[in-house]
Amino acid sequence: MMAKSTVAELSRPLDEIGALPKSIEKPDVRKSMLSVITPIYGEEDSIDLLLADLLPVLRNLGQDFEIIAVNDGSRDSSLQVLRSASARIPELRVIDFRRNYGQTAAIMAGIDYAVGDVLITIDADLQNDPEDIPALLDKLNEGYDVVSGWREDRKDKAIRRKLVSRIANRLISSISGVRLKDYGCTLKAYRRDVLQGIRLYGEMHRFIPIYASWMGARTTEISVRHHARQYGRSKYGLNRIAKVVLDLMVVKFLDRHFVKPIYVFGGFGLFSLVVSVLSGLTVFYLKFVHDISMISTPLPLLTALTFLVGFMSLLMGLLAEMLVRTYFESQGRAAYFVREMINFPEQK
């Protein structure tokens, strides 16, 4: 009887029995604890206005929430404004850095100290609109893990900010394979589970969707409003382009070759050794066939240099392999991530 019942159950359409067990369905984010993270650096005039816009939106959601404001070593009175606001707003938590560490460190601290099941990041300069938060949550409820804001009608300078940003976004999308129109928009929503184990350094906060995609996260993008800056000045300049390119190189390396760095160093080493052998053979060919003195061409120097570079690259690849193994084994980490396990006994 048991076997027949099982066969009959399996023969039913998926829309009757459900394609996925209820235990692994995406939770309703409208019933989850919400953490809003905002990095702050020199925004003394914007903080109260941001809270005045943010609090009604969050309270109308009808769910528990917290606001984590990370003061990134501001030199103005931002910390005093935050202290005053926290005294009258119980949901406001303040993290104060000893000095300025950058937006990436501020967002990382917010993620580390947040207790919400859903995390939302937003700028404190009033250019992001808190009214877009419900739309982000609705999109998460459709089954996505990361929802990124797209400043479709961006209120910034045409060439210095918009054109440069458009080029950078296309470059990042083409190299990373995660297609987003606006990596630089801070307004984003994340399910907490896709951020587990992510560590951010340098200026890599804009690449969080890429890191999340490594965990198998479903990522999407929606259009959000963007306002012109009212107070202060932008913290970004054209030097950000170089930082983005260098950080993108790191992200690409970690994505493709973090587990097997020998493929990068060893590949370059083998290429250098091949060049060394070919240039050395050319030296002997010119000497014994055309009677051209070895010192009359730069080939002997090229042979020696490429041999040394190739040999050192191979050694660096082996050293990197040992470091990677030490990294994983010392922390008990695996080189893979599991989305779900079916019919396995529960582990303590």
pLDDT of residue 7: 37
Across 85-94, 200-209, 331-340, least confident range: 331-340
> Length of the chain, please?
348
Q: What is the pLDDT of residue 30?
A: 66
Beta bridge partners of 68: 37, 93
Tell me the mean pLDDT in the region 66-94: 91
pLDDT at residue 23 tops 50 = no
What the block records as the tokens of 345 is 């006994």
Q: For a pLDDT cut of 70, what percent of the chain falls above it?
A: 77
To 10 degrees, what angle do helices 262-289 and 240-257 make?
100
- Does the pLDDT value for residue 322 go beyond 90? no
Res 277: pLDDT: 94
Q: How far is Cα 63 from Cα 157, in angstroms, rounded to an integer?
A: 38
DSSP 92: E
The residue ranking higher by pLDDT, 186 or 155, is: 186
Task: Give CA–CA dist 251/203, Å, rounded.
Answer: 11
pLDDT at 40: 92
What are the φ/ψ torsions at residue 146 (nearest 5 degrees)? Answer: -135, 130
Confidence check: pLDDT of 9 > 80: no
pLDDT at 194: 87
Residue labelled with tokens 């053979």: 281
**Phi/psi at 280 (nearest 5 deg)?**
-65, -40
Q: Please give the average per-residue pLDDT across 230-246, as a whole number.
A: 63
pLDDT for the residue 217: 85
* Beta-sheet pairing, 219-224 with 146-151: parallel
Q: Residue 184: its pLDDT value, please?
A: 81
Q: Is the pLDDT of residue 303 over 70?
A: yes
Neighbours of 37 (CB within 10 A): 27
Task: Say how far apart CA 152 and CA 166 lie, in whole Å.
Answer: 11
Question: What are the distances in angstroms from CA 120 to CA 44, 156, 159, 168, 324?
Answer: 21, 23, 29, 23, 32
The pLDDT assigned to 221 comes to 92
159: tokens are 């060439």
Q: What is the model's pTM? A: 0.68
Residue 13 has pLDDT above 50, yes or no: no
pLDDT at 345 over 70: no
Q: Which of 108, 103, 81 is nearest to 94 (CA)?
A: 81
| Mean of the per-residue pLDDT values of the chain | 80
For residue 128, what is the DSSP state? Answer: B
Q: How far is residue 267 CA from its own chain's centroid? A: 27
